[in-house]
Amino acid sequence: MALSNSQYDQLMRIYEKRQLDNEYTLRRHYKEAYSRIPQLKELDDAISSLSVEKARRLLAGDESALSSLREDISRLSEEKYRLLKASRLPSDYLEPVYTCPDCRDTGYIGTEKCRCFQRAVIDLLYAQSNLRGILKEENFNTFSLAYYSENHIDPLTGRSSKEAVSTALESCREFTDTFSSEFSNILLYGDTGVGKTFLSHCIAKELIERSYSVIYFSASQLFELFAKNTFGKKDSQETGNCEYIYNCDLLIVDDLGSELPNAFTVSQLFTCLNERILRKNSTIISTNLALEDLKAIYSERIFSRISSSYTMLRLTGDDIRIQKKLLNLGGTKDVTP
């Protein structure tokens, strides 16, 4: 996934700040060391003069004098470190300071991105996803089938809740595994509290860790943003933000139907879903609504887009939040779905 220009610039500003902060720290170290050990300034001046002399002679082709200059610089450096140690300062106290010694706070080792840059990309994507905290708890590693019963049969499909969620879990893993090579979307629908949002979080965690941009909104948050963009003041910082919703690698719209549907929300939903399909940027929608209710509330046109472009995964079962409360009341250890 390629970072947008604004995301890349934001990261570069972080690295520039690191460099400035570390330069300030080094200057502070020098000021303190010179104050405590006045001889250090004289030694540093002597080392600088010898280094200039070494460079001058090297350019002049006088290699015979280089060995003695090296010895003099080495001797003065050892004296410098001795003075630092005697004053109980670290031997590298006057060396350049780096947050990441590997890339020296540039973000790159040669032309390759440093590991710290790759980590910074992921941290930025987490921050922009609206999911930073919750993904530590809700991911594929913590998903469990313990709350899904083989005895709970869906009257519409004839499948048990455990069978349905097993199929959904497999589809969600396949979605992440093929994300870079195949364009696809997912609709998670069915009963309340059966893990639809949890599964979308599982996908988000995997993709962010692979440096894809993931944005999460509840339906009400998304339509509120669209309203501000449409009706807000043109000079407001909250307007003009919809392009990144269309362009992010994965958009998660959670709990569709919990907002107050009207002509505006229906129009904005169609625009959002259609734009992302045209740009081949994936979307995950979760909703408690039945398919016939989706069609009735959001129009035939929207339902057509979803039914033709989304993998539709129906989940059923008993509300997991209620099950957790009952288990906790009974003193049984909680098991995360």
pLDDT tens figures, 135-157:
989 999 999 999 999 999 999 99
Q: Identify the DSSP state of 239.
A: S
Do the beta carbons of residue 142 and residue 336 sit within 8 Å?
yes
pLDDT of residue 280: 96
Per-residue three-class SS string for 302-319: HHHHHHHHCEEEEECCCC
pLDDT of residue 240: 45
pLDDT of residue 239: 38
Chain-wide mean pLDDT for the chain?
Answer: 88
Question: Which DSSP string do the residues of 38-87 spell out, in sequence order?
Answer: THHHHHHHHHHHHHHHHHHHHHTT-GGGHHHHHHHHHHHHHHHHHHHHHT
- With CA atoms as reference, report the closest residue to 252 among 292, 226, 293, 213: 213
pLDDT of residue 332: 42
pLDDT of residue 284: 98
pLDDT of residue 163: 96
241 φ, ψ (degrees, to nearest 5) = -100, 5
pLDDT of residue 337: 57
Do the beta carbons of residue 162 and residue 48 sit within 8 Å?
no
pLDDT of residue 286: 97
pLDDT of residue 242: 75
Q: What are 269's two structure tokens?
A: 């939903």
Q: Mark the ranges of the chain whose per-residue pLDDT is less than 50.
A: 235-240, 331-335
pLDDT of residue 308: 96
- With CA atoms as reference, report the closest residue to 129 among 40, 201, 220: 201
Q: What is the pTM of this model?
A: 0.71
Do the beta carbons of residue 202 and residue 212 sit within 8 Å?
no
